[in-house]
Amino acid sequence: MTSGLAYVPLPTTPTYGATKAAVHSYTESLREQLRESSVQVIEIAPPLTRTTLMGSGTDNERAMPLDQFVAEAMSLLDSQPDAQQILVERVKRQRFAEATGTYDEVFAMQAGR
Ligand SMILES: NC(=O)c1ccc[n+]([C@@H]2O[C@H](COP(=O)([O-])OP(=O)(O)OC[C@H]3O[C@@H](n4cnc5c(N)ncnc54)[C@H](OP(=O)(O)O)[C@@H]3O)[C@@H](O)[C@H]2O)c1
C-alpha cells in the first residue's frame, strides 16, 4: 500500500510521503527479485480516501468515498490480474504529475498555495 503522496508529497506530512515513496521503490525491486517465483507484487496507491487516516474523516468532501475506492480498486484487480500498480482514476493526477509536466502545479496545490 503506497499513496498518491508517494509521487507528489504533502508538505504537512513529510515523513509519511517519504515512507510511501520508499515503499514504491521497495516494491519495484521486490517484484524483480521475485520475478521467477509464484509471488506477485502489486502496489496499490490510493488517492485521499474517506477513512480516519490523516484526519480525512468519513465526511471530507475532498476525499474519495471509501466504497467507491474499494469498488474501483477491486474492479481493476479483477480486470488486470497482471497489473504492477492499481491506480484508480482519482490518483492519476498525482501518479503521473512528473510525466505530464504538472508536478509543480500539483505540489503547489498540496502545499496550499
Ligand atoms: N485514507 C487515505 O486517504 C489513504 C490514501 C493513500 C494511502 N492510504 C494507505 O492505505 C492504507 C490503509 O489506510 P486507511 O486509510 O484504511 O487507514 P485506517 O482507516 O487508519 O486503517 C488502518 C488499518 O491498519 C491497521 N493497523 C494499524 N497499525 C497496525 C499494526 N501495527 N499492525 C496491524 N494492523 C495495523 C488498523 O487496525 P485497527 O483498526 O485494528 O487499529 C486499521 O485496520 C495505509 O497504508 C495508508 O497509508 C490511505
Digit-by-digit pLDDT tens for the chain (113 residues) are 999 999 999 999 999 999 999 999 999 999 999 999 999 999 999 999 999 886 656 678 889 999 999 999 999 999 999 999 999 999 999 999 999 999 999 999 999 99
Closest Cα partner for 84 from 27, 6, 26, 37? 27
R_g (Cα) of the chain, nearest Å: 15
Q: Please give the distance of CA 16 from its chain centroid, rounded to a whole number.
A: 12
What's the pLDDT score for residue 60? 82
The residue whose C-alpha atom lies closest to atom 24 belonging to ligand 1 is 53
Active site residue 16: yes
Number of domains in the chain: 1
| Structural domain boundaries, residue 88 | 4-110
Q: Is the dihedral of CA 52, 61, 98, 108 positive or negative?
A: negative
Q: Can you tell me which atom of ligand 1 is nearest the CA of 49?
A: 3
Here the cell at position 35 is 520475478
Answer yes or no: are the C-beta atoms of 3 and 51 closer than 8 Å.
no
